Structure 1
Amino acid sequence: MDAQMLHGLWAPESQEQHAQACEYLQKLRESNEGWKLCAATLSSGGIMLDEKVKFVCLQVIEHYVRYGYVNASSEEQTMVRQHLSHWMTALCTCSEPEKVYILNKTAQILALVFVVDYPSRWPSFITDLLSVLQMGPQAVNLYLRILLAIDAEVVDREVMHTQAETDRNAVIKDAMREQCVLDLTNSWYDVLVKYEKTNPELVCQCHDIIGAYISWIDISLIANDRFVYKLVDHLKQPLLREAAADCIHEIITKGMDPLTKTQLIESFVTVLDQAGVLKPVDDDDSDFLVKLARLINGIGAQLILSWQKLDKNEHEKRELVRLAVENKVTLLLTFLASEYDDISAAVFDFARDYIQLIKQTGIITSVEHGLLENMLFVLITKTKYDESYNFEQMGEEEAMFDEYRKKLKVVFDNLAALVPELVLKVSKEYIITTLNRWQASSYEDVEAAVSLLYSLGEALPASHGNHFSLPAAPSNISDQHSNISELKTSTMQEMMRLLVTSGVSRHTHPAVSLQFFECVARYEKFFACEPDYIPSILAAFLDVRGMRNKNPRVRSRTSYLFSRIVRCLKNHIVKYTEDILNQLTDLLELAPAENGQILLLRNDDQLYLYEAAAMLIVFGTSEVSRKEMLMRNLLSPVFTKVNYLAERLRLEQDRNMQVYYAKGICHATSVTARTSKAFSNQNSMSACGCVQLYLDALQLFINCLNVGIERELIGSGVRQLMHRLVVCLDGESLMPLLPPASQALLHTPSPVVLMEYLPLINQIITKFQKEINNFLHSIFVPLVSAICSVLSEAIEENDEEEKRLRKLLQRNYYLFLTTIISNNLFDVLLSLEASILQQVLMSIVQGAVEFPDPVAQKNCFIILRRLTEAWCINGSEPPGFIEFIYTQVVPACFLAPLKTTFDLNDAQTILAFHESVTCLQTIYKKRGEELTTYLQSDYLPKMDISQDLIQSYCQAIKEDAKFFRNYSKIFFQSARA
């Protein structure tokens, strides 16, 4: 073998050398002599070979073993075994340990040989393997790695296996149980004893092996005094205890009879307790404590699973297991309360399962009530931020705590569902105590209290969908459930009053500020019931506590929450409209600020404020003229800024500044569009006297577009505004501006511009239908021509983004045609010149057959079907259309499903297929026997289909739609095969 040639794989002097090395490696893999050359190289060079060469040789041998060994001759099989035996001996006896990746690849190869040869062709495999253990620690290392590799091939449940492999693996495990499992377990015990002081890494590997194999071997081989006491002893040794904890976890999670499982766990717990392992008070090894917590979690979860598996009539047995679970809850709480979040999180499953167990029993004992109360205190304590949490620059640790907190809340929600009164009582005490002394408390405590109040809203079921009621509401409480609901309502209102009046909104820490406003927005119904508190809350949103806070996160979030509050409480807030608008003036100013100051809110944040301001105006009780004036006052500064930006853009030569000004105009367009969301059917743009204001705005932005600089950027804003105006205005108002707007938007018809314009025109067609007829006539040909021109332009082979855009544009083009047809605007097509109509029709057929996009293909067949329904009428069809049906549409219905890209197992493609079948059946309904005659005598015979099948197909087309669809699927599957 040319080892020098292989060096080109990892250190090539040139691309050519690398290509030659790759080609040489491929030849070694494909040649039947390649593996022999590599095996001989390993045998002759042995351990002294270059590590990379060794690895390549092993890769080639692995390829042969994986794909050729099973069918090899007995001579070749013997040769493979001999080479592997020599190589194993070399690895086991070398003076220096081999690299891990070499050992793992060797183990993988031997495992692949094992699953082929054992037990029939190499029954002594395990015995031969055990014989190498006497060669020393390196032999033990390789032995353990081989066993792990065998587990990966035979047992590992995360690996998908075919039925044949599953059957093979069952045979292998049965043979191992009968022949060698006892010898294997004895060897494991020997490794645990022999190397526990001298080679902890080997002992840890052995723990992994026991954990892997325990799932399918006899439990008594491991769950006995010698193993258990050795494993428990290892739990006390720093270098061994993590692996030992994982091993014990795997043992106790082995599937077995519920009572046997309970007895096994109880015996383990007794031994662990006697050894002092379960009382890690002074242990600061967090890595081990995570493993120990996982073990405790497994103990609890497995006991609860055993309880669930027992028959409900086996009361004594269930009570025995339940008592065993209860005795472990103190351990659960100890680990749940750990200062390390990863240790605490490791027992979440036990906590949730314990809560569900009590829920299933339907009875809560006094002991359980006390344990649940302790758990609640732990949850509240653990929800507090750690002092190391960095709110200014959040990184991975902060993200991990946020995730931990979410999981903690899941346990809290489960607990609240089980004992709502307890949760409400304890939470109320903590919240009220903390809020009454918030100035003297740490921010962690205050934030936790407000966060707890927020969480109660989701954790506790509300009465009639609400946590609050009007103070004077009459009470007709008659049952216990209603009493509980009333208690929740009164308690929640009491806590919300305290939140609002305590002054905690003035807390300077951003975490408290954010949680305060989240809570206010979460319980907006409280303010609907007690509107006297609304002015103080509005003040908090508008001053330095909220949108003028020094922390940008608080400013950003409160701007969104403010818009939510306004939307929910608009009927109560509208009387403060003009005062709010005055206070919002500086926050609504667009960049660049007139005074040169940095604006407090980002562009996205301002969108929420403009929407909120518009909503207050629109839903107010003012006269129409007053509403129009207020809306004009709101938007006039925006339009003034736009004129300023447009003039600067016109004069600017610097590319970066042009983009800056264009972005400013685009944001102003977005702001204007966002205010239109305030209008509704009851408070329409027309009813508020604002139609002309928005038409003027649209004209202003069209003028900006016609400046001719950064057209795509400004155009995106204009399209956004037009989408909104289509919703808010009638056709008569908007129609005069559609031609100039479209002309400006399509001035430079790039793929992006066209792709984004088509959804707009589709929306306009759907909304206005016949009203848009004249406009659609005028724009159809130029628009389609622009699309065809763009799609026909040359494109670089490796420009994937441009290919993606072209595909989306073509899909949108067919959707555009579908929208026209679906809205019965057939005369748009009928008015076309014959040659242009023919081009459009051919493009639809091309899309149905050649364009490998099932969504577009479905639309194409919908168009062809609708045209057939509308035009395929004797005597009144367009000239040449019947010929088009037979020469183009009918073949398309057959050619498309026969394409290799037409995947009949794909859901979207099936929809396209159904449309093609429906299209063909529609032609039959319109043309009758004329179609079947054509299929029988002309088209289908050319497809080399038997006469019987042709007759069968022509009969099926006459049946109902469902039958024909099912028949057609079988027909095309057969034809493609």
Structure 2
Amino acid sequence: MLCEIVMDEQALLGLNPLADGTTQQQTLQYFEQLKSSADGWQLCATALTSGTYTSNDHVKFFCFQVVEDFFKKSYPDANTDVTQNVKTFLLTWLQQQSCGPAQDKSFIRNKAAQVFSLAFIIDYPSRWPGFFMDLIQTLQWGPRAVDMYLRILLAIDSEVVDREITHTAMENERNTLIKDTMRVQCVTDLVDSWYQIISNYEDSNTEVTCLCLEVIGAYVSWIDLSLVANDRFVGILLRFMAKPLLRESSCDCIHEIILKGMDPLGKTKLIESFITVLDSAGLLNTLEDNEGDYLSKLGKLINGIGLQLIQCWQKLFKSKELSSADVPLKALEHKVPLMFRFLRHEDDDVSGSVIQFAHDYISLLKQLPCVSEQQKQNVKDLLFIIMQKMKYDESYSFDHEGEDEAMFEEYRKELKIIFNNIGALDSELVLTAVHNLFAQTLTHWQNKQFQDVEIVTTLLYMMAEALPATHSGQYFMGDKTKVSTLQEMMRLLVSSRVSCFQHPAVVMQFFETVVRYDKFFTAEPQYVPDVLMAFLDERGLHNPSAHIRSRTAYLFSRFVRTVNKSLLQDCLEEILCRLSDLLVLNSPDNGLKCHLSGEDQLFIYETAGVFVVQSNFPPEKKIELMRQLLAPIVSKFDILLQQMLSESDDTKQMAYAQCLSQAMAFASRVSKGFSSNLTMKQCGLIEPFTEILKIFLHALDVPVHRSLLQMGVRQYLHRMVVCMQDEILPYIPMAMENLLKNPDAKELHDFIPLINQLVMKFKKQIAPFLQESFMPIVRTIFHVLSLPCDTRDQVAANERKLLQRGYFSFIATVVNNNVTEVLQNQDPANLSRVLMTVIEGAVEIPDPQTQKLCFSILKRLVEVWGGSNVLSGFDDVTYKQIVPACFMAPMKTSFDLADGQTILVLNECAACLKAVSDKKGDDFYQISPVYIPTNLKSKPRDYTDLLSNDEVRFKNLQELLQGILHSGSFMTLGRLRYTWICVRIF
């Protein structure tokens, strides 16, 4: 008997969406209380069947959730009485839902169906063998009962059949038993009930009819196909195809039927029978007279038919049953014209419904040993449909691209894939078709619509990917016909002045195409000036469209990189003059009126730098041009700096700081023009860049927005270290002094890569300075790491972790770049402190990257200082600290041997011990065991038999180290072997 206790009304108030947080929390606690209570589900079941909460959807959903939790956790082990109570509750609720005054909302019915399905998978077939018969009996109660019956069947399908849901092996075994039992006991009755439903409700309740068709489609995948694919069902499905409210669901149902797993020839026969009846009923000849949603569904059906026939052919072809494979292939060829009709439909949703069919059809033809004339014609027809359908529609908004525009771009990408596949199948066809259309259009582009001009330019752009053997941008090599045709199209593109077309899509595609085929201009450089002017004038960088200006800035930088600079020598100064208005600092005092964003200006500064650096001018002229290029930065930097400092408005102050940071980024990008073959010194351009460095260093002593400004200075210094030699060194002390003034963890972490870069490049040259600055750097790091930190602040904690790792990377850079004298010449106490931090990092810090760094440092120090008298006392450090660390680190509970990074630590640890062995020889085996820490006996492992006295301990360790280290296998020690050694020793 169901529980008669009433719900706590006060606790249910929190279900109201407008309830405050406290009330909602009380409701949540009540919810958990009911779930944990043995009678909680009964209380909720009573509430659902008592009629008390008929109009309160929130309470009903709440109650079903409690019952659902009970079914998932406790019901599988319930006794007979509880099972009977559950059955009574479900059927009672179902009757009230079917015959009561009002029907529950859809989301309540779906939740109820889910609860029914949970009871079903537990009780059927053993505890409730008549589950389906009981459900079918409810159909007499009317359409509401039918609706719930169908929803329950769909929920059962999700639990038992849906392949997209991952099941355990036990669940799969349960589901197989359920389906096998259903096939024997009730599937025929279920199918009969479906037929009665769709027959009785096709006119009076189309919603129920559509739901039933969905059920049929779901169950057909595992029941006997003949129960559905027969005259009575096919006849009624065809009738529904003529009814606007039912035809979409009918299409989906037929689609699911043809997806049914079958042998290839049986599947082909099934498809042909459906096509015959659909065609006889005239349902495939009315594309123009029907609305898009239905045609999309019909297209999906045709798409499914095509894909299934292709799969049938593939199975037979792979199994070498070539004569049988002709059957689905012939059937497929007859469906291709039908696919074309959908593909060329003006509605892109309808067209898109068969794209996969078209794609897989071309893939099939690529597998055939030879292609028939009809198939070649099909490919040609498909190509022309693709080229036509890729055109932009009049409704496409280039200024305000929204969801429709995004969907068209995705649709276009799918068409492009098919275009490329056709190119791989028949490159000559693609080359000829595109060339003819391109020539016809561009010869008279002034009289064409923008869609026609844009598509031919896009097709030329796409040819690079569609035509075979065009690797690494070498589009003008290989087949002479291809090369000649591409060159002819490129000549027409750049000489026709189509770049003057008054539409952004055409102009943008023009620039994209000339950059993609930049190698064309190597062979025909006479066209370079015209293209450059297009980039520089109102067609490109000065275009009214911000989008075109932005994209052109990037494309221009790419184009300039490939152009022979000697061609530009005579007009270089004019080019720089045309770029001058784009090099203005976009600062608050000029109203932020620059035509380009800061990100886009980076490309312009880089491009201008390339022009100057790679020009044929003498050094004096290059210096003059470079100073002109940097003039907007040089002339305004200090002014902007002072304006920032005098500004009281936080927003404007930040705007100035961002402008100053961008100015430094611009100067950094100008230096990108230099290379290993054309250095700053060779060009005689050291002076302009050191002059501007002096100016930038003023920003390091500014109290506001220091992180942003320091980032800009560091970025510039990084570039100068790359581009200069020892000319940069005089500026390093001042820069470092300011960068190390009261830094936070992030600033200090960002500083370390700069000092590392200096050490790696200049090595011995920078050693004297580094020797003086080493401890100040280290002390600053120690100080920042010692500052108190809120343990709840994850950002700050991560910054400290990165700084800690950065500190060890700094030490590693020093020892790995042959400047260990920097450490060697430190005060012994300071050096000892540094060494102890490295040993502590190797053992105590639970960060594999840090530990690996530390062990690599120790290994290198052993290699440099071990076995010599270079550093007094290092042997003691080796035996007393380094060797024990190699054994202590892997014994830490945080040392996760299942982690790949930790295995790298293990290898580095082994390499460190091997280095000690190589340096110290037999002394290592005699002395090291004495310093293995005996306190490791307190580890939660019992190895007292090995540690009973020092003599036994010494003997075991000596034997192990000699046996393994002498074999040389320690360098490639695996995790299991290393763990075994540690266990044996400790």
Contact 2:852–2:904 (8 Å) recurs in 1: yes
Equivalences for 1:416-427 in 2 at 5 Å? 416-427=423-434
1:523 and 2:532 correspond: no
Q: C-alpha distance in 2, partners of 1:897/1:291? A: 64
Equivalenced residue count is 960
Pairs within 5 Å for 1:709-720:
709-720=704-715
8 Å CA contact 2:464–2:475 kept in 1: the answer is no
Task: Give 1:592 deviation, angstroms.
Answer: 4.3
Q: Quote the Cα distance in structure 2 between the aligned partners of 1:595 and 1:397.
A: 38
C-alpha distance in 2 between matches for 1:526 and 1:339: 37
Report the equivalent of 1:961: 970
Distance 1:44 1:551 in 2: 67
- 2: CA distance, partners of 1:141 / 1:354: 41
Q: Which residue of 2 aligns with 1:408?
A: 415
Do the aligned residues in 2 keep the contact of 1:635 with 1:672 (CA within 8 Å)?
A: yes
Question: Residues 588, 39 of structure 1: CA spacing in aligned structure 2 closer, same or farther, 3 A cutoff?
Answer: same
Hey, what does 1:6 align to over in structure 2? 11
Of 401-410 and 904-913, the range deviating more from structure 2: 904-913
How far 1:535 moved relative to its partner? 1.2
- For residue 816 of structure 2, the aligned residue among 815, 819, 822 is 822
- Aligned match of 1:580 in 572, 575, 584? 575
- 2:221 touches 2:261 (CA, 8 Å); kept in 1? yes
Contact 2:865 2:874 in 1 (8 A): no
* One-letter amino acid matched to 1:368: Q
The answer on 1:550 being equivalent to 2:544 is yes
Residues in 2 aligned to 1:672 and 1:341: alpha-carbon distance in whole angstroms: 48
The 8 Å contact of residues 241 and 288 in structure 1, kept in 2 or not, is answered as: yes
What's the TM-score, normalizing by structure 2? 0.91
**Does residue 197 of structure 2 align to residue 191 of structure 1?**
yes
For the residue of structure 2 that corresponds to 1:524, the secondary structure is: coil
SS class of match (1:216): coil
Q: Residues 946 and 596 (structure 1 numbering): CA distance in 2 closer, same or farther, change over 3 Å?
A: closer
Q: Cα deviation per residue 1:126-158 (whole Å; 9 max; x = unaligned)? A: 222222222221212221122122111112111
Matches within 5 A, 1:599-610: 599-610=594-605
Post-superposition offset of 1:161: 1.4
Q: State the AA in 2 paired with 1:965.
A: G
Contact 2:664-2:716 within 8 A present in 1 as well:
yes
**Percent of aligned positions that are identical:** 42
Post-superposition Cα deviations, 1:722-764, rounded to whole Å, max 9, x if no partner, equal 111111122x222111111122223340233112212222222
Query: Pick from 29, 40, 56: which aligns with 2:35?
Result: 29
Distance in 2 (CA, whole Å) between partners of 1:962 and 1:178 is: 65
Counterpart in the other structure of 2:46: 40
Structure 1 residues 784 and 149, CA gap change in structure 2 (3 angstroms): farther
State whether residues 5 and 24 of structure 1, in contact with CA within 8 Å, keep that contact through their aligned partners in structure 2.
no
* Alpha-carbon distance, 1:82 to partner: 2.8
Report 1:219-368 matches (<5 A).
219-311=225-317, 313-368=320-375
Letter of the structure 1 residue corresponding to residue 595 of structure 2: L
Residues 66-75 or 428-437, more deviating:
66-75
CA pair 859-90 structure 1, distance change in 2 beyond 3 A: farther
- Aligned to 1:586, the other structure's residue is in SS state helix
SS of equivalent to 1:160: coil
Distance 2:862 2:529 in 1: 64
Query: For residues 99 and 856 of structure 1, do their structure 2 counterparts lie closer, same or farther at Cα, with a shift above 3 Å needed?
Result: farther
Q: For residues 59-98 of structure 1, what are the alpha-carbon distances to aligned partners after superposition, in whole Å with 9 as ceiling and x for unaligned? A: 1221121112222333333333333332233223223111
Structure 2 letter corresponding to 1:360: Q
Q: What CA distance in whole angstroms lies between the structure 2 residues aligned with 1:233 and 1:610? A: 70
Mapping of 1:150-229 within 5 angstroms?
Answer: 150-229=156-235
Closer, same or farther in 2 for the Cα pair 1:554/1:60, shift >3 Å? same
Correspondence list, 1:286-685, <5 A: 286-311=292-317, 313-462=320-469, 485-575=479-569, 576-592=571-587, 598-685=593-680
Distance 1:567 1:197, change over 3 A: same
Specify the alignment match of 1:788 in structure 2. Answer: 782
Given that residues 587 and 656 in structure 2 are in contact (C-alpha distance below 8 angstroms), is that contact kept between their aligned partners in structure 1? no
Quick one: structure 1 residues 251 and 919, their matched pair in 2 at CA, closer, same or farther if it must change by over 3 Å?
farther
Residues 1:722 and 1:93: Cα distance change in structure 2 (over 3 Å): same
Are the aligned partners of 1:306 and 1:321 in contact in 2 as well (CA < 8 Å)? yes
TM-score norm. by structure 1 comes to: 0.92
Tell whether the 8 Å contact from 2:296 to 2:353 is kept in structure 1 after alignment.
Answer: yes
**Structure 1 stretch displaced more, 488-497 or 77-86:** 77-86
The secondary structure found in structure 2 opposite 1:928 is helix
The separation in 1 between residues aligned to 2:76 and 2:715, in whole angstroms, is 65
Does the residue aligned with 2:330 lie in a helix, a strand or coil?
Answer: helix
Query: CA 1:665–1:141 in 2, change beyond 3 Å: closer, same or farther?
Result: same
Alpha-carbon distance in structure 1 between the residues aligned to 2:62 and 2:926: 69
Which region of structure 1 is more displaced relative to structure 2, 757-766 or 948-957? 948-957
Does residue 915 of the first structure (1) align with residue 908 of the second (2)?
Answer: yes
- Higher mean C-alpha displacement, 767-776 vs 511-520: 767-776
Q: Do 1:42 and 1:49's aligned partners in 2 also have CA atoms closer than 8 Å?
A: no
Q: Which stretch of structure 1 is more off in the superposition, 699-708 or 499-508?
A: 699-708
Q: How far apart are the structure 2 equivalents of 1:151 and 1:667?
A: 60
Say which SS state the counterpart of residue 548 (structure 2) adopts: helix
Task: Tell me if structure 1 keeps the 8 A contact 2:906–2:975.
Answer: no
- Residue 11 of structure 2 aligns with an amino acid whose one-letter code is L
Contact 1:611 1:675 in 2 (8 A): yes
The alignment partner of 2:397 has SS state of: coil
Aligned partner of 1:138: which letter?
R
Alpha-carbon shift at residue 269 of structure 1 (Å)? 1.1
Deviation at 1:559, TM superposition (A): 1.7
| 2:960/2:981 contact within 8 Å kept | no
Give the secondary-structure state (helix, strand or coil) at the position aligned to 2:324: helix
Q: Assess if the C-alpha contact under 8 Å between 1:468 and 1:490 holds in 2.
A: no
Is 1:772 matched with 2:762? no
* Residue matched to 1:475: none
Query: Any stretches of 5+ residues in structure 1 without a counterpart?
Result: 471-481
Structure 2 distance, partners of 1:955, 1:938, is: 21
Q: Distance in 2 between matches of 1:969 and 1:136?
A: 74
Q: How much has 1:850 moved relative to structure 2?
A: 5.3
Paired with 2:338 and 2:958, the residues of 1 have a C-alpha distance of: 75
1:939 matches 2:942: no
Secondary structure at 1:633's aligned position in 2? helix
Q: Deviations over 1:860-879 (max 9, x none)?
A: 34334444554554876664
* One-letter amino acid matched to 1:522: R
Q: Distance in 2 between matches of 1:61 and 1:746?
A: 64
The residue number in structure 2 matching 1:137 is 143
Deviations 1:242-295 (A, max 9, x none): 222222222212221111111111111111112222223234422222222111
- Residues 898 and 972 of structure 1 are in contact (CA less than 8 Å); yes or no, is this contact kept in structure 2? no
Pairing of 1:102-113 with structure 2 (within 5 A): 102-113=108-119
SS for the counterpart of 1:653 is coil
Contact kept, 8 Å, 2:623 with 2:685, in 1: the verdict is: yes
* RMSD of aligned alpha carbons: 3.0
- Give the Cα–Cα distance (whole angstroms) in 1 for the partners of residues 868 and 10 of structure 2: 76
Q: Is the 8 A contact 1:300 1:325 kept in 2?
A: yes
State the Cα deviation string for residues 554-612 of structure 1 (Å, max 9, x = none): 11211211111110113454423233223222222323499879322222222212222
* Structure-2 separation of matches of 1:315 and 1:296: 25
User: Residues 792 and 403 from structure 1, CA distance in 2 versus in 1: closer, same or farther, beyond 3 angstroms?
Assistant: farther
- Check conservation: 1:864, 1:889, Cα contact below 8 A: no
Do the aligned residues in 2 keep the contact of 1:667 with 1:717 (CA within 8 Å)?
yes
Give the C-alpha shift of residue 308 in structure 1.
0.6
Whether the aligned pair in 2 keeps the contact of 1:521 and 1:564 (CA below 8 Å) is yes
CA contact (8 A) 1:845 1:889 kept: no
**2:950: which partner in 1?**
none
Tell me what 2:747 maps to: 753
Superposition deviation, residue 837 in structure 1: 4.2
CA contact (8 A) 1:3 1:53 kept: no
